[in-house]
Structure 1
């Protein structure tokens, strides 16, 4: 599952204006390769919120929670991002970012930024750590999922049982061409694969896309590996839930959850 593209398109997005980006072939989706996989778009929204914060001169705040509502599918092409500060503040801010395609909003994100403090003396983690990337076997997700995004990843994975798995992911494809992107935004550009690395049903017989994604971080993650300790649950009436503890090489960094619409084909 290695990315072999080279040249100027070797990124998920290219900035083409102050608030517009062109998606590349590397964002091709797993349900439909002609549509955008939502994962890079989620990372892009986080990146735009952080770029806006720096442009406003608001320093010392860290992105600690992002909630995304996914309003629909959208084709590979140009997208726009508009950032609005809903709750300004010196120690806490709530920021909204809307991603649009072809004249309509397709993803709405809201992120909480919080002041940093030195809490090293009292830090601790209540989440269970897992083995690192070297403890798991290489996994070729392109054998299960089509699309340029999955093909751009390097992955290692262990399936515990149907609907439960540990996976480690990384990519050499930049989120935005020629722009520095934070580790948090990079993580958010990868975590949406959690639904696919621990699938509870075959994707040829059941569709189970997510309607949303909410991620909480208690510290900034470290690259390059993104670890997902994932569990997927299906209810009896077409609703599912995916949850994951997210890790870097130093241990857990937060948690993520998704609501699924489960549709037998």
Structure 2
């Protein structure tokens, strides 16, 4: 996908080893002066992948990652610092911090678990979704503004309902210009879209941004499509939860949860 020579076909451009510049494609849905968290979450996984690239020892899989969103990330240069908090041969914990203008805006923690052959006992997930190739695209940009939403191919399995939608999400953009992102980073870069596909109330009248995102994965996702089977619940005192069963084209891969702060538009 290309929108002209001034904007790269990516969500980010690398500045140096730890710093990245968001493009207009990373613009948020609540404000185009902010980054949408979805590509930023993928960028964090990309930085974690780079941190782990030289790791010795047995193969491990990133099996849980939690993001705490400490502020509204400006559409500005960001720095990502990654450290191993708990090294280990079978279990490892990694932490990443996103800094914008020197201020922490996101903290993420990722658990890695050792790969073991459990194919003989694997099972128990949800049913596989209808494949995206059989479905029509949905103009999500008609409901949400921002460069990120405009960059997506969204294909719901049925017409979206208030608080309930199942859809496939994909993009033709690279995560970082000139770099190959892992299948996991590319997958995670689309997961935060879940809070926007199954809105309970009009975003013109109500705000419901998420303050976190946590993914639990029972296997590594594959392919270019992120499947979101999403339910949104609003409570009576300003809190909400977006819950999603995560899929790729081969079936379920895990779950995601987002905690929402629900309040009327000013």
Same fold (TM > 0.5):
yes
* 187-196 vs 49-58, greater mean Cα deviation: 49-58
* 18-27 vs 172-181, greater mean Cα deviation: 172-181
Contact 1:19–1:80 (CA under 8 A) maintained in structure 2: yes
Give the whole-Å Cα distance in 1 for the aligned partners of 2:97 and 2:19.
12
* 156-165 vs 4-13, greater mean Cα deviation: 4-13
- Tell me what 1:36 maps to: 35
- Tell me what 1:256 maps to: 256
- Tell me what 2:188 maps to: 188
- Tell me what 1:223 maps to: 223
Partner SS, residue 236 of structure 1:
coil
Contact 2:2–2:8 (CA under 8 A) maintained in structure 1: no
Q: Residues 104, 65 of structure 1: CA spacing in aligned structure 2 closer, same or farther, 3 A cutoff?
A: same
* 44-53 vs 8-17, greater mean Cα deviation: 8-17
Contact 1:53–1:59 (CA under 8 A) maintained in structure 2: no
Q: C-alpha offsets along residues 90-127 of structure 1, whole Å, 9 cap, x if unaligned?
A: 11110000011011010110000111111222211332
Q: C-alpha offsets along residues 180-234 of structure 1, whole Å, 9 cap, x if unaligned?
A: 2111111111100101000000000000000000001111111111110000000
Structure 1 vs Structure 2 CA RMSD = 1.4
Give the whole-Å Cα distance in 2 for the aligned partners of 1:58 and 1:159.
47
Q: 2:97 matched to 1:72?
A: no
Q: 2:2 matched to 1:4?
A: yes
Kindly report which structure 2 residues correspond to 1:1-265, keeping only aligned pairs within 5 A, or say none: 3-7=1-5, 9-57=8-56, 60-157=59-156, 158-159=158-159, 161-265=161-265
Contact 2:58–2:90 (CA under 8 A) maintained in structure 1: no
Equivalent residues, number: 263
Partner SS, residue 227 of structure 1:
strand
Contact 2:211–2:261 (CA under 8 A) maintained in structure 1: yes
Q: Give the TM-score taking structure 2 as reference length.
A: 0.95
Per the TM alignment, residue 160 of structure 1 is displaced from its structure 2 partner at its CA by 5.6
Per the TM alignment, residue 59 of structure 1 is displaced from its structure 2 partner at its CA by 5.5
Give the whole-Å Cα distance in 1 for the aligned partners of 2:183 and 2:76.
25
After TM superposition, the runs of 4+ consecutive aligned structure 1 residues lying more than 6 A away are none
* 12-21 vs 134-143, greater mean Cα deviation: 134-143
Q: C-alpha offsets along residues 43-92 of structure 1, whole Å, 9 cap, x if unaligned?
A: 11111111101134455111110000001112212000000111001111
* 215-224 vs 121-130, greater mean Cα deviation: 121-130
Contact 2:220–2:253 (CA under 8 A) maintained in structure 1: yes
Give the whole-Å Cα distance in 1 for the aligned partners of 2:58 and 2:18.
21
What 5-or-longer segments of structure 1 have no aligned partner?
none
